[in-house]
Amino acid sequence: MRMVFRWFGKGNDGVSLRHIKQIPGVEGLVWALHDIPAGEAWPVDRILEVKQQADEYGFHLEVVESVNIHDDIKLGLPSRDTYIENYKQTMRNLAKIGVKVICYNFMPVFDWVRTDLFKPLEDGSTALFYEKSKVDGMDPLELVEKIAHTPDFTMPGWEPERLKSLKKLFIAYSNVSTEQLWDNLKYFLEQIIPVAEEYDIKMALHPDDPPWEIFELPRLMISRENIRRLLKLVDSPYNGITLCSGSLGANHQNDIPAMIREFHDRIPFAHIRNLKIYENGDFIETSHRSQDGSLNLYEIVKAYHDCGFNGYARPDHGRHIWDEKCRPGYGLYDRALGIMYLWGIWDSLEAIKKEANSSINTKTI
């Protein structure tokens, strides 16, 4: 397991590279050029600028999250070919600095949905919260109007220009069925994967968050069956997934350890986080500790360990603790604690493995 840490750029989220350097076992940054609109090619000079910043602290930049997909590609419009060519050029430019994995998503309109960014937990910390009944009863066009009339409204990973076009997006996607979205994803992959193979960059599609239909929009990456379908669209080791335990785990029917064991050779990147699921379908993100949430992170990490996972992993969202002012879900402190919990599990599994091998060798002698 190769531990990496998501960083939103110099001066962007209050987390400095000096801070990240002090977290044991972190070897690289998960990064992106967040100000480049979806569909535009990433300039080499901007990529090299980030590399220079990372080099100063000895971090690699082998994982990018995300190179966002232009909506014309998801919608299957004639203009998609232009944006796909720009995407290919971005891949070539990223290869110049040794990028090995691109995490991306194919979610219509919203990359993720929560109803409260700072919901209080019993211990006094706050976390991202999803209230199912509120989302189920929400008119998406009313939501659009609310966003339009809320000054300085922002969403991580969203460009202001895209927020202004939400109404048009909802109308455009109203004519796209689930099967059409699958067809558009296949078209994209058939164009992209040959470039990925040429430049040794693995594409890692992120699950939908949450993993069910919202606002009557089609959703693809929501289940084990659908992951199988994705991997068959273009059967190449360069067509893979970012297995996010928190996204898929919001549906208790998704068996995360079983997914890891089945798809391990197509998981170049892992997001590991925990959440507590309530009986009414609500969920809130918790600490990484298994006892604090509904997911058994010991069994999740054990599945990776048993499969000999040597891909990249990062602690995903964490709580906001110790009065830290931070980007929702991305506080420094709880993610650092999460890393130490994950390493504790991994190191204990390594010790068990070493002891077992030693016992076998002794019996052989």
Tens of pLDDT, residues 171-187: 889 889 999 999 999 99
Q: Which residue shows structure tokens 């998960």?
A: 30
Cα 347 to chain center, whole Å?
A: 24
Number of H helices, E strands in the chain: 14, 12
Instruction: Tell me what pLDDT residue 270 has.
Output: 98
Structure confidence at residue 58 as a pLDDT band (50, 70, 90): very high
- Coil, strand or helix: which one is 350? helix
- Coil, strand or helix: which one is 29? strand
Q: What angle (nearest 5°) sits at the alpha carbon of residue 343, between those of residues 340 and 227?
A: 110
Q: Tell me the C-alpha distance between 249 and 154, whole Å.
A: 26
Instruction: Tell me what pLDDT residue 130 has.
Output: 94
CATH class, 2-364 region = alpha beta
Instruction: Tell me what pLDDT residue 168 has.
Output: 82
- Residues annotated as part of the active site: 206, 244, 271, 316-317, 330
Structure confidence at residue 139 as a pLDDT band (50, 70, 90): confident
Predicted confidence (pLDDT) at residue 97 exceeds the cutoff of 50: yes
Structure confidence at residue 155 as a pLDDT band (50, 70, 90): low
Token pair in block for residue 361 = 């060798």
Q: Average pLDDT, stretch 93-97?
A: 98
Average per-residue pLDDT in the chain?
Answer: 92
Instruction: Tell me what pLDDT residue 166 has.
Output: 75
The proportion of the chain whose per-residue pLDDT surpasses 90, expressed as a percent, equals 77
- Which residues fall within 8 angstroms of residue 265, CB to CB, at 6 or more apart? 237
The pLDDT tens digits for 59-76 are: 999 999 989 999 999 999
* Whether the Cβ atoms of residue 75 and residue 172 lie closer than 8 Å to each other: yes
Whole-Å CA distances, 255 to 107, 197, 207, 274, 291: 22, 30, 14, 14, 17
Predicted confidence (pLDDT) at residue 146 exceeds the cutoff of 60: yes
- Coil, strand or helix: which one is 204? strand
Q: Average pLDDT, stretch 276-298?
A: 96
Shortest CA distance to 205 belongs to which of 258, 250, 244? 244
Q: Tell me the C-alpha distance between 220 and 182, whole Å.
A: 7
**Three-state SS annotation for 58-116:** CCEEEEEECCCCCHHHHHCCCCHHHHHHHHHHHHHHHHCCCCCEEEECCCCCCCCCCCE
Structure confidence at residue 157 as a pLDDT band (50, 70, 90): very low
Instruction: Tell me what pLDDT residue 159 has.
Output: 53
Q: Average pLDDT, stretch 278-300?
A: 96
* Whether the Cβ atoms of residue 145 and residue 249 lie closer than 8 Å to each other: no
Greater pLDDT, 326 or 221? 221
Predicted confidence (pLDDT) at residue 18 exceeds the cutoff of 80: yes
Concatenated DSSP letters for 310-332?
-SEEEE----B-TT---STT--H
Instruction: Tell me what pLDDT residue 363 has.
Output: 65
* Whether the Cβ atoms of residue 6 and residue 314 lie closer than 8 Å to each other: yes
Instruction: Tell me what pLDDT residue 27 has.
Output: 98
Backbone angles phi, psi at 285, to 5 degrees: -80, 140
